Amino acid sequence: MEWLNKMFSNKDTEMTATEKELYSDGGKERPLDPSLEKVDVIIKKEFSHSIDFHYSTVLVGNRDGKVYYFDTLINKERLTEEIYDPLTNTEGKDAIEGTEDLEEFRKEYFSSVPYTFAENYHQIFWKLLNGYAVLVIDGIEKAVCINLGTLEKRTVSEPSTQTIIRGPKDSFTESIKTNLSLIRRRIRNPNLCFEQYRVGQDTRTAVVIAYMKSITNEELVKEVKSRIEKINVVGLFDSGNIEEFLTDKSMTPFPLTFNTERPDNAAANLIEGKIIIIVDGSPFALSVPTVFTDFFISTEDYYQPFFMASFIRIIRYVAFMFSLLLPSLYVAISTYHHELIPTSLLISVQAQREGVPFPAVIEILLMELTFEVLREAGVRMPRAVGQTVSIVGALVIGQAAVEAGLVSSVLIIIVALTAIASFVSPIYNFSVATRILRFVYIIVAAMIGLYGVLLLVVIMVVHLTSLRSFGVPYLAPIAPFLMEDQKDVFLRMPVWDNITRPSYLKPKHGKKVGDKASQGSKSQSEGNVT
């Protein structure tokens, strides 16, 4: 039963090693040797097996020196311009005599480049792995680390999983610096904070949490930091790798973290008082805490008239219920509750089912599984043929199944409506939960009819009320019912009326607007400066 307790309880894992514990003796910092020969042996021992690791001997005034770097992490043109060329001017000069002269030497020859000093080996190794070129000088107990990093990265493009009709069309990329700049451009506020952690014993991947210091609840910030510090994984390659470490419970089909590749969505959540978690190498950012209604709200709702946005939001809720319950209702009614169907419709349905060799539950399970296989095949196949195969495959197989008498035509309509409704959710991983639960509802409906469907709905609601996301009830603001937060749940009120932040987040400032007079004076002063 121990594994069950772990599944249903909060995560409590050991802390990962810090940067200072890497590449050190017994967890202690190992100072840099003054002898270039000793330093050279240790650095080569650590990296000489890598073909992209290079070093070159240079002359720094009257002293020997060596430059170490990874050519896959730096710009080699900058290496020549910003290190080798300046060092040629030091030949024959008493450029540096000791550690106390290192800063003056740096100002004279490397004044225009980002730099840092390394006093021990783990700092040197860390800088090398982060795109720095390290200059070690014989007799000097400090190394000069110059930032020459350059990484190949994908350009900013439109989101691939969250389609946009109206609104900004940029999306996050795999570069964490690009992602942070996309957020910073939208929130030009000194209260926007970015804090970085390193996660993954082997990968040491950068994980940044973003929050508004003047808005976000301090206890929430501490909780997020604590959970990130406790993550203990060997490698981290995507934000999805840490989702299960951040959630309060893992045994639930419903996502407890909200992921987005839209910077405007992330910025809007920050303004509300939430925390954004960005992982280097992942184009998807996580937003916490997360509530059930977040998966029915799109940032695009706020770029359209509130009447249209409210109508679309209601459509999303209805589509969720359709995709979850429609197949099970068909099975329950056609098997146990014929009296609920009008007589003329019942005769038509039964006439179509005449000659079908399987009961309704086998029919619908067969078609649902077939559609899931086609959907997965369409995703995994090359993009040029993926959509064609999934659409044509569904049409051909459905038509052939009806003509062969394996399924009824009504059932094809039910499966098609269910599939279309499942795509309405703006967030893909939320639709996965409905796809899983749909099969459970179908099986229970086949066993005990509508009573089973109703019982499962009650159990699902009870389960949803028990869920928490960083201490916030998953069904908030519906359960518990918070009247002040109802302006942006099922309907979207006009922007001028929706001026409060969600109270369940316990933000420092509950209102989104301030004093108009102070805002006007600020705008005027900014204009004068411009």
pLDDT in tens, the chain (530 residues): 444 444 444 443 333 334 444 444 444 467 888 888 888 888 888 888 888 888 888 888 778 888 898 888 887 888 888 788 887 776 656 556 666 677 777 777 777 778 888 888 888 888 888 888 898 888 888 888 888 876 667 777 777 777 777 878 888 988 888 899 899 999 988 889 999 998 888 888 889 999 999 899 999 999 999 999 888 888 888 888 888 888 877 688 898 899 999 999 999 999 999 999 999 888 999 999 999 988 988 888 888 888 888 898 999 999 999 999 999 998 898 888 887 878 787 777 777 777 777 788 888 888 888 888 877 777 777 665 556 666 666 667 777 777 676 777 788 888 888 888 888 887 888 888 888 899 999 999 999 989 999 999 999 999 999 999 888 999 989 888 888 888 888 888 887 777 888 888 888 887 776 544 444 444 444 544 44
- CA-CA distance, 219 to 505, in Å (whole number)? 10
Judge contact between 277 and 466, C-beta under 8 A.
no
Judge contact between 206 and 196, C-beta under 8 A.
yes
List for the chain the helix, strand, coil content (%; round to 5). 50, 15, 35
Q: Where are the beta strands (DSSP E) in 214-344?
A: 258-260, 275-279, 285-288
- One DSSP character per residue, 359-375 reads -HHHHHHHHHHHHHHHH
Tell me whether strands 53-60 and 132-137 are parallel, antiparallel or unpaired. unpaired
pLDDT score of 462: 92
Measured CA to CA in angstroms, residue 73 lies from 53, 78, 256 at distances of: 10, 12, 36
- Whether omega for the bond prior to residue 31 falls within 30 degrees of 0, making it cis, is no
Judge contact between 177 and 164, C-beta under 8 A.
no
Helices within 291-427 (DSSP H only)? 306-335, 343-353, 360-380, 383-403, 409-422
Judge contact between 472 and 291, C-beta under 8 A.
yes
- One DSSP character per residue, 243-265 reads HHHHSS-SS-SS-SSEEE--HHH
Q: Could you tell me which residues come within 8 angstroms of residue 338 by beta carbon, excluding any fewer than 6 positions away?
A: 346
